[in-house]
């Protein structure tokens, strides 16, 4: 994990539904009212995903609620947001997404030195039995921790 700073929004379902192969820290092109709304915790990553188009990476489906005092400066809550990455990183992401079964999933939004950053994961979907295995392993780990505390 590359993150450091205050987490604004996290996509908890992503790690449950996907195997995360690699993560990238990216900047995100936002307008002022969107940043203010995010600082208030008004973002949602649930149904969002990343896409590479024309040598640029975009975040699709991320919802940022309109800022209450934003009046005419508010933007469309579901507009595509451009992610800011180096060319070499975009090239790697393009290679990953061209392989069958891989997708770009935003894992979290956080503040780092006053800027909003996105943790973007290259992910492969889990099968139902993989999800069950993950849940079972977590339960076993919890049980071990409980036993250790009791001793």
Residues of the chain predicted below pLDDT 70: 1-5, 70, 73
Domain membership flag for residue 33: yes
- The model's pTM is 0.76
Element (H, E) at 39: helix 32-39
* DSSP category for residue 106: E
Per the structure, how many domains does the chain have? Answer: 1
Give residue 97's pLDDT: 87
> What CA–CA distance (Å, rounded) separates 58 from 84?
9
Domain assignment present for 37: yes
Residue 38 resides in a domain: yes
Residue 1 lies in a domain: no
**63 in a domain, yes or no?**
yes
CATH number for the domain that contains residue 82: 2.40.280.10
**Sign of the C-alpha dihedral computed for residues 8, 107, 112 and 35 taken in this order:** negative
Q: Are 1 and 23 in contact (CB under 8 A)?
A: yes
Q: What range defines the domain where residue 67 resides? A: 6-150
C-alpha 15/C-alpha 64 separation (Å) is 22
Asked whether residue 95 is domain-assigned, the answer is: yes
Question: What local confidence, expressed as pLDDT, does residue 2 receive?
Answer: 52
In a domain? residue 29: yes
């Amino acid at each position: 994990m590359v993150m450091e700073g205050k987490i604004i929004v996290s996509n908890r379902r992503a790690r449950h539904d996907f195997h995360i192969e690699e993560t990238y820290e990216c900047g995100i092109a936002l307008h002022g009212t969107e940043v203010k709304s995010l600082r208030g915790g008004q973002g949602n990553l649930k149904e969002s995903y990343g896409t590479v188009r024309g040598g640029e990476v975009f975040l699709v489906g991320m919802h940022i609620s309109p800022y209450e005092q934003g009046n005419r400066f508010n933007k469309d809550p579901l507009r595509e947001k451009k992610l800011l990455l180096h060319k070499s990183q975009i090239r790697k992401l393009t290679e990953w997404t061209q392989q069958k079964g891989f997708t770009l999933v935003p894992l979290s939004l956080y503040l780092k030195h006053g800027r909003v950053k996105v943790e973007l994961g290259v992910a492969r979907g889990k099968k139902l039995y993989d999800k069950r295995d993950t849940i079972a392993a977590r339960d076993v780990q919890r049980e071990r921790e409980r036993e250790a505390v009791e001793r």
